[in-house]
Structure 1
């Protein structure tokens, strides 16, 4: 391989982005060294030292000097799974980060790429031109010392230093497993053992060994799927729809920076096929309640493009109605008519509660289903649609909201409102309470106010209406976002609502308020509790 000066500078300065890249190259070279059993790494803000106990390099010979000082002149082959290196540019990555000494046997090769040193052998080094000097004594193996350039490393007090060390541990996590060479970073082994140990043994995981890789998959899509080429970390895929690790048996074809797998890598194509099969196995194990939004989106992508999976998963609750209620493809397709909209209003909510299917396209998986079904060439068919506003009007569902001033309220409404304000204060609902006019029993903005309506009260009997207002108040307090447009009656809401209603302290405050009113009357209790109308 030959390069121009511009290409060489690009590879050294731009493709090897940070210090961990350079350290990775030095460690990788140490692991590749014949007969190496251990690589020691010491990283401080001032200096990095990487030493291996391998056969070393004869820097006193023309060949040894050339292999380490000429870009692309190394002896490693991209098809050689016995070594990790591919491009022969490891030294270029290393010399970009500081004044470098590569010591092996009785000689040391010195570089000062940025020409910052003016003493010793570094003074005779210039740019990519290294200088070989005799060492004071022999070193078995190879020792690489990088005296960091200040411009290439974080400030010594930066929070980034602990992250650099942690990133190094991650990069080399499975090198020992694949090569048998132990890697020690700042005194601690980084070996994580067998890849299958990365996931907890259980129903929510799939472990599989193929001729090309070890797959350890789990239902943690937010963490992503980490890929290791022959034990060396490459990248994490956050769009795979699952988590875990993949460790290839042999090298993957990588880009110069070793941060991505190149297209056309046959081994990676076979691994991808194995991941796809294992992913379906994992999804089959998951109950619908355990599916994350990202998992549902990936399952929808698979379902809409694969006839077998569409039939297999058509009864799975992968989609969402405007009320946050899960719904299956089978139920959607069984409806005489359906509708969809981005988010929900109370008109759509009321229609769903009456049995209509109105899909929420603000949900990624649901939007993907609708978009696919509307395409010109699709195997997914959905029923004919209806207009939500027209259907709501025909059903007599009013969708207006009016907050009434305290002075506009009737005597009965004033009593209801004062009770609700006293109760909210007693049970710790820190929102302003108002009365209003709308179809629903109440609405809230999710953080500062709750507006109750006449429909919240089902009976004029005191014990009945006080309990009605208790339940409605708890219901609205359980919403952490506006339900004026979107009701959001999902599992998260249900959990908060149950916790509030079933809290013994909350029920005790409610009972105490109702008992006090029964004993002393409304007005004295409201005055005692500082409750009044505006």
Structure 2
């Protein structure tokens, strides 16, 4: 098999996404250098310099020149845990980002891949063809200088430069721990010490050391598990269900870009087995009220696929009813019948308050359970289902929402509606006020309409029902989104509701309207205020 120019171009230009990828290749080459104890990295918008104090490379020899200038010709092996490099193509990644000088001893190997330099040795370098020149003085170890191509790096004033430096610190965080070689970026050591120090002792944590890796896991609000191959950062797993770090002992089998673990990596397969067991141990220590949505979803995935986890967590409250009430698998399975739907409505809420089990499939963990409990080959046994609408009607809990035309209202309803419209105008509620039929006292779309129902009025006494309507209008006006399906009474709602009810201007407007009606009668006041039925 031979390598075409297109493949070579891909390996140089496309395998590494950005400057930190190229710098990583230079750093790992420095760490791999025999006898190296330190690698120094200096990064500015104009130039990157990477130097090590290892044995160096004899660039004056044919072998040394070949190892650094021919893709895949290096001496590194993918099975060699003594070195970080695997492919022998790191130089290709480096020369894509700028005019490069690799200096060791009395010789320097120079590349100008984009043919942008016209002076010195770079004038004779072209594309993949490097030029070796003799130097006036010797360099111990290897010093790599990358004079950045403008097209390959962010603008010097860009916010991205501080992030580049921070990303480099993250990439090399456990190299010193694994190799003993110190790495400094812009004068600062990047070593984070032992992987077990990565987790926060104030959280629930689990640590494991195996022949393959160090695992330090913790429960975090946003699970992010950082994966390091022999101390070198590879990727972050956002779906592991835990936070922390995994640092392998020896190299993981990675892709060309070194940004993912390949599926056939035997060491990683063994690490994942340990990770699965450690994750279960961590979940066992968490209180149910401390579980994040993502953790519940991960536990449900394990519960529905593994009988041991199912028995282990049967009494854990991992799922949600439509009322946002947590519920366990044990309680679900004990019910004579259950139902599920995507989100809540007032009918379903009322049935749950009467003891029914109605699961909310808008919740990820609950949706997974329902999916696993469907069909003849269901992984989880669930009770038979009932229809929510039918059950609500049988229980006298009507869950429909109907707006009534003004012409269909009774005299009493018309008077209530006219008062509500006059009141809304007086207190500054800029929404259309209508009458309707539904189980709740009223509902709103959160921005343009409020619909009031008969149940909003608790008494025929004028002072009582006018105050009922005052509170209902303030309540619905405090909702800035629809409450037709799920009634959201969080802190934002409570604050807006209190502001309206307690506002002296609002209270004065309400009192003025009620007083005017007492003095001059309904019809006169409604006519004065310009409210009428359509």
What range describes the TM-score normalised by the shorter chain of this pair? 0.7 to 0.9
Secondary structure of the structure 2 residue equivalent to 1:521: helix
Aligned residues: 521
Seen in structure 2, the aligned counterparts of structure 1 residues 446 and 223 have a Cα distance that, compared at 3 Å, is farther
Paired residue for 1:513?
507
Seen in structure 2, the aligned counterparts of structure 1 residues 509 and 116 have a Cα distance that, compared at 3 Å, is closer
Seen in structure 2, the aligned counterparts of structure 1 residues 114 and 379 have a Cα distance that, compared at 3 Å, is same
Paired residue for 2:256?
256
1:122-159, CA deviations, whole angstroms, 9 ceiling, x for partnerless residues? 22222222111111211112111112222222233333
Equivalent residue runs for 1:57-96 within 5 Å: 57-96=57-96
Paired residue for 1:49?
49
Secondary structure of the structure 1 residue equivalent to 2:385: coil
Seen in structure 2, the aligned counterparts of structure 1 residues 240 and 471 have a Cα distance that, compared at 3 Å, is farther
Distance 1:531 1:174 in 2: 75
Paired residue for 1:10?
10
**Structure 2: which 5+ residue stretches go unaligned?**
none
Distance 1:468 1:151 in 2: 68
What is the CA-CA distance between 1:269 and the residue it aligns to? 1.2
Seen in structure 2, the aligned counterparts of structure 1 residues 34 and 465 have a Cα distance that, compared at 3 Å, is farther
Secondary structure of the structure 2 residue equivalent to 1:168: helix
What is the CA-CA distance between 1:162 and the residue it aligns to? 2.9
Distance 2:285 2:476 in 1: 36
Paired residue for 2:123?
123
Asked if the contact 1:344/1:487 (under 8 Å) is kept, the reply is: yes
Paired residue for 2:415?
411
Distance 1:466 1:284 in 2: 54
1:468-521, CA deviations, whole angstroms, 9 ceiling, x for partnerless residues? 56765676466553221x2155xxx444456567x6x67754899389839993
Paired residue for 1:296?
296
Asked if the contact 1:205/1:218 (under 8 Å) is kept, the reply is: yes
Seen in structure 2, the aligned counterparts of structure 1 residues 352 and 520 have a Cα distance that, compared at 3 Å, is closer
Seen in structure 2, the aligned counterparts of structure 1 residues 479 and 415 have a Cα distance that, compared at 3 Å, is closer
What is the CA-CA distance between 1:219 and the residue it aligns to? 2.1
Asked if the contact 1:337/1:385 (under 8 Å) is kept, the reply is: yes
Structure 2 residue 32 is matched with structure 1 residue 38: no
- TM-score normalised to the size of structure 1? 0.87
Distance 2:504 2:468 in 1: 12
Bigger mean CA offset, 87-96 vs 33-42: 33-42
Paired residue for 2:23?
23
Seen in structure 2, the aligned counterparts of structure 1 residues 446 and 33 have a Cα distance that, compared at 3 Å, is farther
- TM-score normalised to the size of structure 2? 0.87
What is the CA-CA distance between 1:19 and the residue it aligns to? 1.4
Distance 2:514 2:445 in 1: 34
Distance 1:514 1:285 in 2: 55
Q: Indicate the RMSD between aligned Cα atoms, in angstroms.
A: 3.2
What is the CA-CA distance between 1:25 and the residue it aligns to? 0.2
Distance 2:291 2:529 in 1: 46
Equivalent residue runs for 1:274-289 within 5 Å: 274-289=274-289
Paired residue for 1:231?
231
Paired residue for 2:328?
328
Distance 1:228 1:92 in 2: 23
Asked if the contact 2:198/2:244 (under 8 Å) is kept, the reply is: yes
Distance 1:18 1:508 in 2: 58
Seen in structure 2, the aligned counterparts of structure 1 residues 531 and 299 have a Cα distance that, compared at 3 Å, is farther
Structure 2 residue 103 is matched with structure 1 residue 108: no
1:273-308, CA deviations, whole angstroms, 9 ceiling, x for partnerless residues? 111112112212222222222211111110011112
Asked if the contact 1:431/1:450 (under 8 Å) is kept, the reply is: no
What is the CA-CA distance between 1:161 and the residue it aligns to? 2.8
